[in-house]
Structures are given as structure tokens and as C-alpha cells.
Amino acid sequence: MLRYVVRRVLVSVPLLIGISLITFGVINMAPGGPIGISSDLNPKATAEYRERLKAYYGLDQPLYVQYGRWLGRMAVLDFGDSFSADGRKVWDKIRERILVTLSINVLSMALIFLVAVPLGIYSAVRKGSVFDRVATVTVFTGFAIPTFWLALLLMILFGVRLGWLPISGLVSLEYDTLPLAGKILDRAAHLVLPVFLMAFGGLAGISRYMRSTMLEVIRQDYIAAARSKGLPERAVVFRHAVRNALLPVITILGLSVPGLLGGSVIFETIFAIPGMGQLFFQGVMSRDYPLIMGILTIGAFLTLLGNILADVGYALADPRIKTERAG
Amino acid sequence: MNGHSMLRETLRRLSRNPLAVAGAAVVLFFCVLALFPWLVSSHDPNRIDILKILEPPSGAHPLGTDDLGRDVLARMLHGARISLSVGFVAESIAIGIGLVIGLLAGYYGGKVDSLLMRFVDIMLCFPTFFLILAVIAFIGPSIWNIMFIIGVTGWMGVARLVRAETLSLKERDFVAAARAQGAGTARILFRHILPNTLAPILVAATLGVAGAILVESGLSFLGIGVQPPTPSWGNILTAGKDNIEFAWWLSLFPGLAIFLTVLGYNLLGEGIRDAVDPRLKGR
């Protein structure tokens, strides 16, 4: 098993290098460059001032030198200094926000899993039934509604009209004065809308996948065998079919990481959540190259990690893989 | 079974799936509106009338007017053209790239295959929306740039599908027969293998068009989608959300249009998938 994990990690190294190359390429597509904002609009900026600025940020070097330097620093999580006015380290900026984004992502992923799996199972068992159709339309509704619009409608309903839930930020203004239980409740209340919305949007992918693997499994011979030996339908479905159908879903959970991360830009902007998505958007709008490169790389790295974890989880759950690799 | 009767069989199965039929109807409805907007409204989508700002739906303006007094129905119709074009063009780009990469990887196998598939793996690692956002912010939010970048970041699924199909198809007898008759690689790929991969591509395409429309609306929300005054459903909705408390019609109609269209494409795509899946035959 350990061998399998090590090999799985080693395979990812070239991927990481490829990721960094693409990230670097994206940044260099930009016309104007990062000093454009501070010098193009400034009539007093002389050509010499611009050159000095370029040299200061290392932008006068050939591309491969810039890339090499950046890659070397990246290995130790040094993404350089942000171009923004505060000039702080990119990693520090990411670090203080990454947990917020990750926890919201993990919570919604858990919620997706809890709802989508049973939904997919029942849809498959009763394929073509009214339940199946209603479930299909419901999960696609979550996918098809523009998230920011639904978010706004729910904010108006639950936040403004009913006043049940807070609509922005992670904590209330009076957070510091609350007792511990109040603090926890306060945080939870702030997470309800974003987590629910994110889960609603992601439901379709997993539940449809669960439905189709379940349909596939139900056709297998061992299910027919279980049925023909007189097992009640419940036992056939839950003991024999679901176990096998769940396996591929583990992989899909890993694959859904980039989608959720990307979506966090919109959620965090709507709900004013100080997470990585919001930081990325700010960085993009101000052409903060080191910040953009840092977050793109971290985002891809997290995806890679999600995929490795999913594969390892799969190997743990499926004895066939372990025996295959044992030799 | 020849191609003609296979198509008929697929259509027959499709027509027995009420959700797919509903999806197809919605898709068709919005396509017709986008192609012939003057059938429904003769208003100019960009004509500003400051005496008619934020008027609720009425006989003269069936969907009301916006904050500049423009006719919302006319803007929605022309927005349909823009939003659907973004969907179609972006997805055509994605399919074009995915097709070529998938065919090459599947047909040649070996080093070509592993190199191309590693590239696919790398692209799949990026949170697509992050990539799109970064590139759009750099090269500017023109409609062509938006189509281009959505397409360039969305081809990986198609490439994998086509590769898998090609891998199994190239071992089949009819390909060997074509080769024995002296057909060149290009002819084998495009004449014999490609047509057989069309069904899964069609499914991916319907889902992709829907996805592209959603991405454009997300970009519009962030202010870097299709730029006003050119109407897109995304930017009409974004403009509408600022007035959501006192002019519901400004956000309701574009929101519903995006929702129904994306839902329609998804239901149609799922329906096609079920209809062409030979393993589901007789069920």
C-alpha cells in the first residue's frame, strides 16, 4: 500500500512542473505588464523610471531566468512579494485565507456527498419513476441557476425579509463580545447560505454519476445471483450493489475539487467572505502577478492532492487494486 | 443496422423520454428567438429613453424597461443571440481541440498518447474558472476573447472521450479493412473513426454549450463578461441585480432565460446519452 502511495505521488511530480509552466505562460500573456498600472497612467513616469521599476521586480531578465528563479523559490513555498501596496509575501496572504476557502469547500463537499449519494441510488433503483424525474430536474436546477442570482434571491429572502441569516462576512460585528457558544453559532449562521448554495450547485455532478454507476452495477451477474438466491431486494441493493457502485464516486469527489475552488470566486465575492477566491479576484483586477501565480499554483496543487487522496481512498476501499500492485 | 435507421431508432427512444423532449423544446424555442428576434419585438435593444426608466411590464414593453429606459424584451432577444453564440462558438473551439488531440492520442498510442494525456491531466488540475478569470483580465473581456478562453480551457473531457473511442475503434475490422484497401491515416481518422465518435461528442457538446453560457454569466457578474451596451443574458442579469428590490422584472427574465436554457441543454444531453447508450437497449 505504501508503495502504491509513493508511486502515485511520484507520478504527480511532472504534472506539477507542467502546472507551473502553464501558470507562468498565462501570466506572460498579459500586455502592459504589472508595472503598466503604476506607470502608464502616470504622466511623470519617465522611461528610465520604468526601467528601474522593471529591474526592481526582476522583469528585465529573459523569461526562462524569471521562470527558473520563480520555480526555485516555489519549491520552498516562497511565491515572492505581492505587487499590491502592502507588498507582503504572497504565501502569507494566501495562508491567512486558504483555510476559510477550504473549510467552506469541505463542508459543501460533505453535504453534496450526503445528499447526492442516496439521491443517485434511489433514482437508479427506480429508474424512470416520478421520483427519478423529480430528482433529475431538481439536481439540474441547482446546476442551471446562475449562482449569484440565486444567492441574491436567498439573501433577500432569508437575510433581509425574514432576518433569519446574516448575509455577508464570516462573523458578525459583535462577534468578540459573544460567549463561546454564541461565537460558534454566529460562525455557523454565516456559513449556512454559502455552503448550501455551493452544495446545491454541485449536486448534479455526483448524483448523476452515482445514478449511472448504480445502473451499471445492477446489470452485473453477481446482482442477478444475489437476487436469484432469494435475498430481499433491500439487501441486494444496499449490501451488494451500493458498495460496488460507491467506489467510482470516490474518484469523482477528487475530480470535483477544481470546480468547487473556481466557484469560490463568485461565492466569496457575493457573501464578502475573505477567502482565497476573493483574494484571487482582487489580484487579477490589479495584475498582481506573483499573487495570481501563487494562487493558480496552489489551486492546481490542491486539485492534485485531491486526486491523490481519492486514488488512495479508492485503493483502500477496493481490494482488487492492492493485490494488483502487490507483485 | 445502417446509419439512417440507427438515427431513427435513437430519435424514437429520445422521443419517449419526456424530460429530453422538454429540454429539446426549450433549446429550440430560444434558438428560434435568437435567430429571428424581430418576430417578437421591433424595439431597438440599445435605444435609450430617459422618460421611461424602470417601467414595469406593460403592453408597449412586455418585459418592462431597464434603468436607461431600454426595452427589456428587445435586449433579452439580442442577448439570446450573444449568449447562445458564446455557448456555440466556445464549445466548437473546445470540440475542435479535443477531437484532434483525442484522435491523435488514441490512434498513435505509445509516446504520443502518454505525452498528450499528461497534458490533459495538467490542464484538468487547474480550477478552470481561475484560469479563465486570469486570462480575461489580462487580454480584456471582448466577446471573442471570452469565447476563445472558455473553449481553450474546456476541451479536456472531449479529448478523453474521443481517445477512448478511438482506442477501441482502431482495432475493429472495418478500420483494418479500410487500411487494407490502402486508405491513408487522415482518411481512416476522419472518414472511419470520427463518425463513430459523434454520439458521445454530441452529448459533451450539449452540456458544454450550457456550461459556457453559465461561465459568461459568472464573468458578467464579476464585471468582466460581455461588455455593455452589447446585451448578453449575463450582463442584463447583472445590471438587474442592482435594482432587484424595486424592479424585479430586470433580473427575473434574464435569470429565468439562463436557467431554462442551461436546464434544457442538460436534459437534452442526458436524454441523448441514454438514447445512444447501446447497453441500455430494451430497457
ipTM of this model?
A: 0.85
Q: Measured between CA atoms, how close is A224 to chain B, in angstroms?
A: 16
DSSP string computed for A127-148: TTSHHHHHHHHHHHHHHHS-HH
Rg, chain B, Cα only: 22
**In a 3-state reduction of DSSP, which class is residue A267?**
helix
Q: Cβ separation of A19 and B210 shorter than 8 Å?
A: no
Q: What angle do CA B55, B59, B65 make, to 5 degrees?
A: 25
Cell digits of residue A69 = 528563479
A305 touches chain B (CB under 8 A): no
| Pair A138, A231 in one domain | yes
Nearest Cα to Cα of residue B130 among A257, A44, A173: A257
Round to whole Å and give the CA distance between A4 and A324.
10
| Pair A37, A100 in one domain | no
Q: Which tens digit of pLDDT belongs to each residue from B202-244?
A: 889 999 999 999 999 999 999 999 998 899 999 999 988 888 8
Domain boundary among A78, A112, A144: A78
**In a 3-state reduction of DSSP, which class is residue B127?**
coil
Q: What is the DSSP letter of A299?
A: H
Q: Cβ separation of B118 and A14 shorter than 8 Å?
A: yes
Instruction: Flag whether pLDDT at A28 surpasses 80.
Output: no
- Closest residue of B to A284, CA-based? B134
Q: Looking at residues A132-138, what average pLDDT do you find?
A: 92
| Pair A161, A265 in one domain | yes
Q: Which of residues 165-194 of A touch B (CB under 8 A)?
A: none
**Band of residue A57 on the pLDDT scale cut at 50, 70, 90:** low
Q: Measured between CA atoms, how close is B129 to chain A, in angstroms?
A: 5
pLDDT at res. A41: 54
Q: Cβ separation of A144 and B263 shorter than 8 Å?
A: yes
Residue for grid cell 451477474 = A221
Chain A residues inside the 8 Å CB shell of B270: 136, 208
Q: What angle do CA A298, A301, A303 make, to 5 degrees?
A: 115
CATH number at residue A135: 1.10.3720.10
Cell digits of residue B65 = 424597461
Round to whole Å and give the CA distance between A105 and A264.
8
Nearest Cα to Cα of residue B270 among A242, A133, A247: A133
Q: Looking at residues A44-70, what average pLDDT do you find?
A: 74
**Is A203 contained in some domain?**
yes
Q: Cβ separation of A280 and B262 shorter than 8 Å?
A: no
Instruction: Give the domain ranges of chain B.
Output: 3-280
Question: Is the link from the previous residue into A258 a cis peptide, with omega within 30 of 0?
Answer: no
How many CB atoms sit inside 10 A of residue A182's CB? 13
Q: What is the DSSP letter of A236?
A: I
B154 Cβ neighbours under 8 A, 6+ residues apart: B90, B91, B94, B128, B208, B211, B212
Choose the closest CB to A30 out of B124, B130, B138.
Answer: B138
| Pair A203, A299 in one domain | yes
Per the prediction, chain A carries an average pLDDT of 83
Q: Cβ separation of B133 and A141 shorter than 8 Å?
A: no
Instruction: Flag whether pLDDT at A205 surpasses 70.
Output: yes
**Is A167 contained in some domain?**
yes
Instruction: Flag whether pLDDT at B50 surpasses 90.
Output: no
Round to whole Å and give the CA distance between B136 and A208.
31
| Pair A71, A207 in one domain | no
Q: What is the DSSP letter of B2?
A: -
Domain boundary among A22, A49, A78: A78
Please state the pTM of the whole predicted model.
0.87
A22 touches chain B (CB under 8 A): yes
Q: Which of A138-142, B104-108, B197-201 has the lowest mean pLDDT?
A: B197-201
| Pair A198, A297 in one domain | yes
Round to whole Å and give the CA distance between A121 and A242.
7
Query: Higher confidence at residue A1 or residue A157?
Result: A157
User: What domain range is A111 assigned to?
Assistant: 95-326
Round to whole Å and give the CA distance between B179 and B171.
11
Round to whole Å and give the CA distance between A12 and B124.
13
Bridge partner residues of B65 (DSSP)? B71
Q: Please state the φ and ψ torsions of residue A284, each to the nearest 5 degrees.
A: -65, -45
| Pair A58, A175 in one domain | no
Q: Which of A137-141, A164-168, A216-220 holds the top average pLDDT?
A: A137-141
| Pair A174, A311 in one domain | yes
Q: Measured between CA atoms, how close is A180 to chain B, in angstroms?
A: 36
DSSP string computed for B190-220: IIIIGGGGHHHHHHHHHHHHHHHHHHHHHHH
Residue for grid cell 441500455 = B280
| Pair A57, A127 in one domain | no
**Is A148 contained in some domain?**
yes
- Closest residue of B to A160, CA-based? B245
Q: Cβ separation of B262 and A144 shorter than 8 Å?
A: yes
**Which of B16, B116, B125, B241 to probe by mutation at the A interface, max A CB count within 10 Å?**
B125
| Pair A36, A168 in one domain | no
Cell digits of residue B11 = 430519435
The sign of the CA dihedral A165, A265, B223, A286 is positive
- Residue B205 carries which side chain, given as an amino acid letter? A
How many domains is chain A built from?
2
| Pair A45, A137 in one domain | no
B3-280 CATH, one of 1.25.40.10, 3.40.50.2000, 1.10.3720.10, 3.40.50.10110: 1.10.3720.10
Instruction: Flag whether pLDDT at A110 surpasses 70.
Output: yes
Instruction: Flag whether pLDDT at B141 surpasses 80.
Output: yes
Residue for grid cell 507551473 = A20
Q: Please state the φ and ψ torsions of residue B65, each to the nearest 5 degrees.
A: -125, 160
A312 Cβ neighbours under 8 A, 6+ residues apart: A4, A5, A8
Round to whole Å and give the CA distance between A18 and B255.
38
Round to whole Å and give the CA distance between B229 and A10.
51
- Closest residue of A to B219, CA-based? A266
Query: Higher confidence at residue A220 or residue B92?
Result: B92
Phi and psi based region of residue B223 (left: phi greater than 0; alpha: psi -120 to 50; beta: remaining): left
**Is A13 contained in some domain?**
no
Residue for grid cell 505509445 = B110
B181 Cβ neighbours under 8 A, 6+ residues apart: none
pLDDT at res. A183: 84
pLDDT at res. A44: 64
**Band of residue A249 on the pLDDT scale cut at 50, 70, 90:** confident
Round to whole Å and give the CA distance between B81 and B78.
5
**Which of B121, B130, B256, B267 to probe by mutation at the A interface, max A CB count within 10 Å?**
B130
**Is A1 contained in some domain?**
no
The answer to whether A265 touches B133, Cβ cutoff 8 Å, is: yes
Choose the closest CB to B134 out of A133, A148, A292.
Answer: A292
Q: Cβ separation of B237 and A258 shorter than 8 Å?
A: no
Round to whole Å and give the CA distance between A136 and B271.
11
Instruction: Flag whether pLDDT at A93 surpasses 80.
Output: yes
Q: Cβ separation of B279 and A14 shorter than 8 Å?
A: no
**Is A294 contained in some domain?**
yes
Q: Which of A8-12, A92-96, A319-323, B146-150 has the lowest mean pLDDT?
A: A319-323
**Is A88 contained in some domain?**
no
Q: Looking at residues A257-269, what average pLDDT do you find?
A: 89
Q: Cβ separation of B222 and A265 shorter than 8 Å?
A: yes
Q: Is B81 exposed, middle or buried (0-12, 13-18, 19+ CB in 10 A)?
A: middle
Q: Is B250 exposed, middle or buried (0-12, 13-18, 19+ CB in 10 A)?
A: buried
**Is A90 contained in some domain?**
no
